[in-house]
A and B are shown apart, each in its own frame.
Chain A
Amino acid sequence: MKKIIIVGGGTGGTILANNLARRLAPEIASGAARVTLLTASDKHMYQPGLLYVAFGRMAANELYRDLRSLLEPGIVLHVDPVQSFDLDNNRLQTESGTTHDYDYLVICTGSRPNPESIPGLAENANHVYTLEAAEKTFSSLQAFTGGRVVVTTGVPHKCPMVPLELTFMMHDYFRDRGILDQVEFFYTYPIGRLHSLENVGKWAQKEFDRLGVNYETLFNLKQVDGDKGQIHSEEGSVLDYDLLVSIPPHTGMPLILDNALGAGGWIPTNPATLQMEGRENVFVLGDTTNIPISKAGSTAHYEAETLGENLSSLIRYGTLASLYSGKVFCFIEAGKDRATYASFDYKHPPQPQPPTQMIHWFKLAYNKLYWNSVRGLL
């Protein structure tokens, strides 16, 4: 029997497990192959929904499904987090003490926000990367009556469109509340333009100029002084704020750090084959890689499709079938009722189009369609 173990039940791990269960259905039925998913939680969260929670437009119960309900029947699921890897001997141990051996291993444990890495950030800033934080942000936005809103972005971070989306959505939110003339927006960004994607940055700059959003680039947050209501950058700038909204820096998961699989919790990964560097039978997916690509659900989705083809091909023919092209597709909410998107790969930069209401509606529809997407049906 060929054993595939997937570590992590987020977007990438769940899509891959379902993809493999379909591709390898005959082998699974005959006992020639087994797909096992090891996770830390029996719940699966739709993380992009947190952005809407921050504006009171989605509720917590809309973000979660029982993980088992999303999986094909042939998949073996254990809610038993991995504790240690023995890559030389193709086995791992879980927190319950169970040892699993494998022929192929896929690690997709994701990333986590780490506001604690910047002094004062966790105590003084709002963000949307956990349910608790998104609900707190909603309360902060509701309570805000005017003043300067500062947006800061840490490096690295998950979902690169969030800094822009938060800014555009706050603009419309305060406009609808009738206090826009009492709000000043100040957007900061770590590199020398308003977004890492050059064309998206050019588009955003025109939108910000039109909306009256101020900005400063080459701004990397060093510390937050909550008593004075000030933030300091590594580059020497100091800004006053009345409401601080952050995209906190992210780090890899403790499991990756504790097992010394990669600096910062990011595993060195081949950008095309998604193999862990130096390991032919270990693959890495989603945020967990060190590939210089967006940490986003879309990235994990496309990578999972490539890995589904390759792992089933390895089991049947002993060879890889395809290479990951760097494909990413991200919606960009440009306010409360308009959106655009960025679609790109390793070779082709995105060409964002003017936002439309239609794309916004499609994004809202995708918020529901995700549950089919993660089942591997879309």
Chain B
Amino acid sequence: MNHPICVDARNSFCPGPLMELIAAMKLAQIGDELEVLSTDQGSAHDIPEWIHKVGHELIDTHEENGVYHIRVRKKK
């Protein structure tokens, strides 16, 4: 199994975790799994909202030692 593409957006106020994920999605292939690392609590809400709206897949989200791990799969 391939490791997910890591989008390390810890301590990013601008452009921020969701913008980093959108940029990474553009470079990824359909079916690729990406994991966002974020220290922004809002990401746990914003990223799933966008993933749902645009039609990608949310695999998992959890918090560990103040870092949010959000795993998604590019679907289109």
Contacts and interface: CB of A to CB of B under 8 A. Distances in A.
A236 B54 CA distance: 8
Contact of A156 (B8, B9, B19, B49): B19
A191 interface: yes
Given A155-B26, A191-B50, A347 B11 contact: yes
Contact of B13 (A218, A249, A263, A350): A350
A342 B8 CA distance: 23
Nearest to B5: A263
Given A190-B22, A192-B49, A235 B13 contact: no
A18 interface: no
Interface in A293-349: 293-294, 326, 328, 342, 344, 346-347, 349
A196 B50 contact: no
A220 interface: yes
B64 to A, nearest CB: 19
A316 B64 CA distance: 41
B20 interface: yes
A155 B11 contact: no
Nearest to B8: A292
B19 A346 contact: no
Nearest to B12: A292
Contact of B50 (A192, A264, A328, A342): A192
* Interface residues of B, dominant DSSP: helix
B42 interface: yes
B11 A271 contact: yes
A347 B66 CA distance: 14
A293 B15 CA distance: 6
Nearest to B9: A292
Contact of B14 (A155, A234, A264, A294): A294
A220 B54 contact: yes
A155 B23 contact: yes
Interface in B1-50: 8-20, 22-23, 26-27, 42, 46, 49-50
Given A196-B19, A271-B11, A292-B8, A191 B26 contact: no
A191 B27 contact: no
A234 B19 contact: no
Given A192-B46, A198-B42, A263-B27, A292 B15 contact: yes
B interface bracket (residues with beta carbon within 8 Å of A): 20 to 34
Of the candidates A218, A271, A326, the one having the most CB atoms from chain B within 10 angstroms of its own CB is: A218
A91 B19 CA distance: 35
A160 B15 contact: yes
A60 interface: no
B50 A294 contact: no
A344 B13 contact: yes
Interface in A211-255: 218, 220, 234-236, 249
B11 A191 contact: no
A79 interface: no
A264 B23 contact: yes
Of the candidates B12, B13, B22, B42, the one having the most CB atoms from chain A within 10 angstroms of its own CB is: B13
A197 interface: yes
A264 B20 CA distance: 12
B53 interface: yes
22 contacts: A155-B15, A190-B22, A191-B19, A192-B18, A192-B46, A196-B13, A197-B14, A197-B16, A218-B54, A220-B22, A249-B26, A264-B26, A264-B27, A292-B8, A292-B9, A292-B11, A292-B12, A292-B16, A326-B11, A344-B13, A346-B11, A346-B13
Given A156-B15, A264-B26, 14 more contacts: A160-B14, A196-B14, A196-B16, A197-B13, A249-B26, A292-B16, A293-B14, A293-B15, A326-B11, A344-B13, A346-B11, A346-B12, A346-B13, A349-B13
The 5 closest A-B pairs by CB, nearest first: A292-B12, A346-B11, A292-B9, A196-B15, A191-B18
